[in-house]
Amino acid sequence: MTARLPGRPVAHRSRWWALAAAAFAAVLASCGVEQEQIPYSELKQHVDRGDVASVVVGERRIVATPTEDARAAGAPEAWRASPARPDPGLIPLLERKGVEYDGEGGSGAPHPAQALLVLLAAGSLMALVLYLRRNGLLAGIGGGALDVRDAGKRARGVRYADVAGIDEVKEELEEVVSFLKKPERFTQLGARAPKGVLLVGSPGTGKTLLARATAGEAGVPFYSVSASSFVEMFVGVGARRIRKLFEKARANTPCIVFIDELDAVGKGRSGGVGSNDEREQTLNQLLVELDGFDSADGIVVMAATNRPEVLDSALLRPGRFDRRITVNVPDRQGRLAILDVHARRIRLAASVDLGSVAGSTTGFAGADLANLLNEAALLAARAGCEEVGTAHLDAAIDRVLAGAQRKGQLLNDKERRIVAVHETGHAIVAERSGTSGPVRKISIVPRTVGALGFTQQLSEDRNLLQRDELLDRLRVLLGGRAAEEVVFGQVSTGAANDLERATVLARRMVCEFGMSTTLGPVRYVGGPTAPHLGDGGGEGPGPSAGTAADIDREIRLLLEEQAAAARALVEADRAALGAIAEALLQKEDLDRDEFLEHLRRHGDCSAVTM
């Protein structure tokens, strides 16, 4: 027997598979003798007409082979019939017509050659299945091997120095690193390290990178697996895969087991109609495994999710995932540190100011910033430049925020003028509003996200917003529509998205933030019949029909007031509105300096925000 070599060329394995498949097909073809089932009376008629060459007589069936002439006339390879009772006149009929006949030995057993062919077919099928399973082609069927990415060597190349912008999180994970390096420091004091660490945060904030860097910092094996790979359509597969994962971890302690997207298997168990028994069995096995080892065993389980609210409460109790660490979107200093890390592999021009880029990317996660630098490098390479400059970074920011330019979408002169007036209205209202962020750029170039233009503002990292700041945001959203009313005397469909966003914000102000002057400090969620969370976390009734009408009235009042305020600001800067719109029609894009120059020249200079 030849051993299978791990390094066998793919082409050789492909030829083996082709030969096995061809042999299997040939065996099946040899077994597939066409036999047509006919009534016994019809079989005797064929014998009487001389269409039968030979007959095999058994206790329960009779198989007749047609003559060559009968086959040429369209007869099958064999006829099969089952007499209702033994026929003593069959043998005399066969002898009279000169037909050869034989018996099956009285047991109805198949012919030895047929039995051999069946065995060959079964053996070929079994060999083919074993080959496919051995090469991983059937790994996902019937509980095959779990796709565990053993990243032990790779993890050692990732350290905390490669993770930037989330220093507080790294400090919390230092305890895990210390435990994996020197567990005796904890055990001699009677303390135990956390068995499970749950990383919670928005997509792209670096949860997986943190887990890998923790393993690299501790110098231990790192086993990464996606929670979705546990659950299959076959019952019991997920639980078996959980057991195999922890068996591998116990054999290689100390180590870190990382489960990505934990919510795929860790959702709360309902037990009602529509519950997923396989997923719940997998979750139960995971709970058992988390209880099945002690922290002194040297296994730390880390998991990541961006939906902690759906996790089963049994996962989050002490002794399982007993430490929860939130990985937030970085602030400006964090974004600058992340940009410095990813800029190591980018050839940046000396004039590039990453601090300015960090200030223009509020709300960007680490993955977004890495993608931003990569987009800038691609744009520079496409333009044939040797370095990535400020212009490439600005274009990359626009591409990430608003999508790529749709050069194939051409607007007629009327549509271009409407878009220019609309975006200028947003910009003027934003610049004249006291708490709104300064305008960075105005564009009337169509983008792939569906926008025909955009106005970008520079915003600060904020955790709390006051009522006047939210009112300013409503006013800016309605500024484009107000400018269309002032210039054209009517509005267009281009303000649909602005109205949607403004309505959502106004509803939150009234229903969630208690910022209504008439309804008071009450939180409303849903419609008249919708449930909402009460003080104790339970469900209570939603607002009554009368209160719902009051909510709609208050939302409409907020929007009407801010629409009127936006219109007043646009009318006060009517000359600047026309000049900036004309400049946009000529250049298509205006940066902040160009926008302020037109606003100073044609508007009230004292009102311009610097």
DSSP for 566-610, please give it.
HHHHHHHTHHHHHHHHHHHHHHSEEEHHHHHHHHHHHS-GGG---
pLDDT on residue 141 = 42
Q: What are φ and ψ of residue 328, in 5° steps?
A: -85, 165
Task: Give per-residue burial for 265-300: e unless 16+ CB within 10 Å, then b.
Answer: bbbeeeeeeeeeebbbbbbbbbbebbeebebeebbb
| Catalytic member of 423, 431, 484, 554 | 423
Most confidently predicted of 280-284, 318-322, 398-402, 471-475: 471-475
Q: Which of 162, 169, 490 is nearest to 344 (CA)?
A: 162
423 is catalytic: yes
Q: Which whole number is the average pLDDT over 330-358?
A: 91
Query: Residue 122 has which token pair?
Result: 């079964």
Query: Residue 504 has which token pair?
Result: 């959502």
Confidence band of 338 (pLDDT split at 50, 70, 90): very high
More confident residue, 516 or 404: 516
pLDDT in tens, 128-185: 767 665 554 444 444 444 555 554 444 556 888 888 888 888 888 888 888 888 877 7
Q: What are φ and ψ of residue 325, in 5° steps?
A: -120, 125
pLDDT on residue 6 = 41
Which three-class secondary structure state does DSSP give residue 149? strand
In this structure, the strands spanning 78-81 and 62-66 are antiparallel
DSSP string, 455-487: EEE-----S---HHHHHHHHHHHTHHHHHHHHH
Confidence band of 420 (pLDDT split at 50, 70, 90): very high
pLDDT higher than threshold 90 for residue 560: yes
pLDDT on residue 525 = 72
Asked whether 257 and 249 are in contact (CB, 8 A), the reply is: yes
pLDDT higher than threshold 60 for residue 535: no
Confidence band of 583 (pLDDT split at 50, 70, 90): very high
The Cα 302–Cα 214 span in angstroms is 10
pLDDT on residue 419 = 94
Asked whether 437 and 475 are in contact (CB, 8 A), the reply is: no
For the chain, first and last CA: distance in Å? 82
> CB neighbours of 593 closer than 8 A, spacing ≥ 6?
none
pLDDT-wise least confident of 295-304, 316-325, 394-403: 295-304
Q: What are φ and ψ of residue 581, in 5° steps?
A: -65, -40
For residue 52, what is the enclosing H or E element? strand 52-57
The structural domains of the chain, ordered by start, are 33-107 (3.30.720.210), 149-327 (3.40.50.300), 332-402 (1.10.8.60), 413-607 (1.20.58.760)
Q: Which whole number is the average pLDDT over 400-428?
A: 86
Burial of residue 190 (CB within 10 Å: 0-12, 13-18, 19+) is exposed
Q: Which whole number is the average pLDDT over 506-534?
A: 74
pLDDT in tens, 345-387: 899 999 999 998 998 888 899 999 999 999 999 999 999 999 9
Q: Which of 289, 305, 343, 77 is nearest to 203 (CA)?
A: 305
